[in-house]
Chains A and B, each alone.
Chain A
């Protein structure tokens, strides 16, 4: 595909970057990225990936926009309250960049549909809000050998790492999901709105770096930040072959209930 004049203008600040250039921008325009969850992390990630010109953005979320989302989920605006999040996000993406094709899936990623949904994408962004979903994204991506960016936020803290086949996965750091309600969620403990933007845009940058094949990804490293002290650290982590063997997907909440029944 050759760029139109409008596209050359739109993407000019990318194109003049030596590490992106016309070739890199072309890769971005050809890329397919799936964003799981269009909330605190998925919202900024989707905005930047749309602006960057990612050819196809998949967005999956089963929720509708709630008033409490607006403090940080910047893709959703006040008139969107009550609207399905994927629809609200799709509308904003179209306004930012009509070149982007959006696959909006109003559903939850589950063990039965995860592999089928991720198979069409080059890179997956975990913008989910709960551990069963985070482990499911991890397991599905490891199983299907799909690169993905893990992200988590709580209060003033964030953490993120990038997986590509062969590197440490989320499960290499955190072996299994914590029991339900053992770890507070953002709705219970609160979250500083701006850190969702900080973390979600790091995830978007990782996706774009992967697509253009430049720089060093956050592989085998967990980036942790504390926005209250504005302190960033990376902790090296190693792949654990045992924890990279995934042969089936589980909906963890269900599994926990099943164990209790026994």
Chain B
């Protein structure tokens, strides 16, 4: 399936996977810390396992950035 992840086309051999599996396939650092937006909606972490990603889906992996002052 073809996905768009953070604006970039990405091709996967799988035809559908759970969000949690996708994070693993994409080798996302600290998957517990990432926010996932699927087709414009931000998922709750509890939905990562039960939500399936399919061909044509658009995802954003958003990361914490804490710096600023120190």
Binding site for B on A (CB under 8 A): 37-42, 61, 63, 69, 126-131, 134, 151-154, 157-159, 172-175, 178, 182-183, 185-187, 191, 196, 222, 224, 233, 235-238, 240
CA distance A258 to B68 in the complex (A): 26
Tell me which of B9-17, B19-27, B38-46, B49-57 binds A.
B38-46
CA distance A151 to B37 in the complex (A): 19
Nearest CB in chain B to that of A203: its residue: B68
Q: Which residues of the partner chain A approach B44 to less than 8 Å between Cβ atoms?
A: 175
Nearest CB in chain B to that of A242: its residue: B44
Binding site for A on B (CB under 8 A): 6-7, 30, 32-33, 35, 37, 40-42, 44-45, 60, 62-70
Of the A-B pairs whose beta carbons lie under 8 Å apart in the complex, a sample of 23, sorted by A's number, is: A37-B68, A38-B69, A39-B68, A40-B68, A61-B69, A63-B70, A126-B68, A129-B68, A129-B70, A152-B65, A172-B42, A173-B62, A174-B64, A175-B44, A178-B33, A182-B32, A186-B70, A187-B70, A196-B68, A222-B62, A224-B62, A235-B62, A237-B37
Nearest CB in chain B to that of A176: its residue: B45
CA distance A151 to B69 in the complex (A): 10
With A183-B30, A238-B41 given, is the CB distance from A174 to B62 under 8 Å? yes
Identify B7's interface contact among A40, A233, A237, CB under 8 A: A233
A153 touches B41 (CB 8 A): no
Q: Which residues of the partner chain A approach B65 to less than 8 Å between Cβ atoms?
A: 152-154, 157-159
CA distance A41 to B30 in the complex (A): 26
Identify B64's interface contact among A129, A152, A235, CB under 8 A: A152
CA distance A233 to B60 in the complex (A): 11
Q: Which residues of the partner chain A approach B62 to less than 8 Å between Cβ atoms?
A: 159, 173-174, 222, 224, 235
CA distance A128 to B60 in the complex (A): 25
CA distance A233 to B7 in the complex (A): 8
Q: Which residues of the partner chain A approach B32 to less than 8 Å between Cβ atoms?
A: 182
Nearest CB in chain B to that of A37: its residue: B69
CA distance A140 to B67 in the complex (A): 19
CA distance A128 to B62 in the complex (A): 19
Identify B66's interface contact among A172, A173, A175, A183, CB under 8 A: A183
With A172-B42, A183-B30, A233-B6 given, is the CB distance from A131 to B66 under 8 Å? yes
Q: Which residues of the partner chain B approach A191 to less than 8 Å between Cβ atoms?
A: 67
Identify A186's interface contact among B7, B30, B35, B67, CB under 8 A: B67
